[in-house]
Structure 1
Amino acid sequence: MSTNLPLPQFYAQTLSSLQPIFDDTISTSDPKAQPILSSALDNLYLIQRMINSLGVFSENESIDEVGERELVFMSLGWVIGSTEEKGGLSGRDDRISSLQRAETAYNTYLELLNSYGVLSPEEKAESSAAANGQSSMPKDPAKRREAKIAQYRREKDLRQTISNSLPTHPDTSSSPTTFLLSLLPFNSNRPSVVSTSTGSTSVNPDDEEIPTSTIVSILRLLHTLTISSLSSINMELELLSNAPASITQIAEQDPRQPRREEEDSTWRLDRQPGTYKPKELISGNGRVLRPFTILPSTQAMSDRERLKGDVFKQSWRLPTMTIDEYLEEEQRRGNIITGGGQASYDAPTATELMELEAENDGTIVAEENYEKKRLKDENWAMFADENKKGAGNTMNKG
Structure 2
Amino acid sequence: MDTPEPSLRVLFHQAKKQQEGLDSLDPRSADFKHALQSIIDNLEQCRNLIRDLSLFSTNEEVEDISTQDLQYLTVDCLLAEVKIKGYGEHRQVSLQDAAELFEHFLTRLDQYGLLGTSDRKLYERYLEQRSSFRIVSSNSPEEKRRIKISRFQEEKSLKQKLQYLRDESQKANVDDETIRSLYLAEIAFLVNKAFSSLDMITQELEILSQMRHAEPVKPGPPPPDQRFPARPESYSERLDGPAAMAGLAKRGGPLLSPSGKPLQPFTLTDKRTQLRQGVFRAGHNLPTMSIDEYLEEERRRGGIIDGGGNANAPQPEPDEDNMEQVDAATMKAREWDEFVEANPKGAGNTLNRG
Matching residue of 1:266: 216
Q: Which amino acid aligns with 1:223?
A: V
- SS of residue in 2 equivalent to 1:166: helix
Percent identity (aligned): 22
Q: Which amino acid aligns with 2:11?
A: F
Matching residue of 2:25: 26
**Structure 2: 5+ residue stretches without partners:** 231-322, 325-354
Matching residue of 2:189: 221
1:240 aligns with 2:208: yes
Matching residue of 2:69: 70
1:57 aligns with 2:56: yes
Distance 1:153 1:34 in 2: 34
CA change 1:145–1:20 in 2 (3 A) is same
Distance 2:108 2:118 in 1: 16
Distance 2:179 2:13 in 1: 19
Q: Aligned-pair RMSD on alpha carbons?
A: 3.1
Matching residue of 1:85: 84
What does 1:245-394 correspond to in 2, within 5 Å?
A: 266-267=216-217, 271-273=219-221, 295-296=227-228
**Contact kept in structure 1, 2:19 and 2:39, CA below 8 Å:** yes
Q: Which amino acid aligns with 1:90?
A: G
1:268-313 deviations in Å (ceiling 9; x for gaps): 7xx434xx9x9xxxxxxxxxxxxx9853469xxxxxxxxxxxxxxx
> In structure 2, which of residues 114, 121, 124 is the aligned counterpart of residue 118 of structure 1?
114
Distance 2:111 2:197 in 1: 21
What does 1:80-229 correspond to in 2, within 5 Å?
A: 80-87=79-86, 89-91=87-89, 94-131=90-127, 132-133=129-130, 134-137=133-136, 138-167=138-167, 209=176, 210-229=178-197
**Contact kept in structure 1, 2:162 and 2:185, CA below 8 Å:** yes
1:119-162 deviations in Å (ceiling 9; x for gaps): 11111011222333222313211111100110011111111111
CA change 1:294–1:67 in 2 (3 A) is closer
Matching residue of 2:17: 16
Matching residue of 2:345: none
Calculate the TM-score normalised by the size of structure 1.
0.51
- SS of residue in 1 equivalent to 2:30: coil
Calculate the TM-score normalised by the size of structure 2.
0.57
* Count of residue pairs brought into register by the alignment: 224
- SS of residue in 2 equivalent to 1:34: helix
Shift of the alpha carbon at 1:164? 1.1
Distance 2:85 2:105 in 1: 17
**Which structure is higher in RCO with an 8 Å CA cutoff and minimum separation 6?**
1
**Contact kept in structure 2, 1:3 and 1:10, CA below 8 Å:** no
1:30-83 deviations in Å (ceiling 9; x for gaps): 221112212221221111011011110011111111111111000001111011
CA change 1:25–1:3 in 2 (3 A) is farther
Shift of the alpha carbon at 1:213? 2.5
**Structure 1: 5+ residue stretches without partners:** 170-181, 183-205, 248-264, 279-291, 299-363, 366-398
Q: Which moved more, 1:100-109 or 1:208-217?
A: 208-217
The structure whose Rg is larger is 2
Distance 1:165 1:77 in 2: 23
1:89-145 deviations in Å (ceiling 9; x for gaps): 331xx1111111111101000101111001111110112223332223132111111
Matching residue of 1:337: none
**Contact kept in structure 2, 1:130 and 1:231, CA below 8 Å:** no
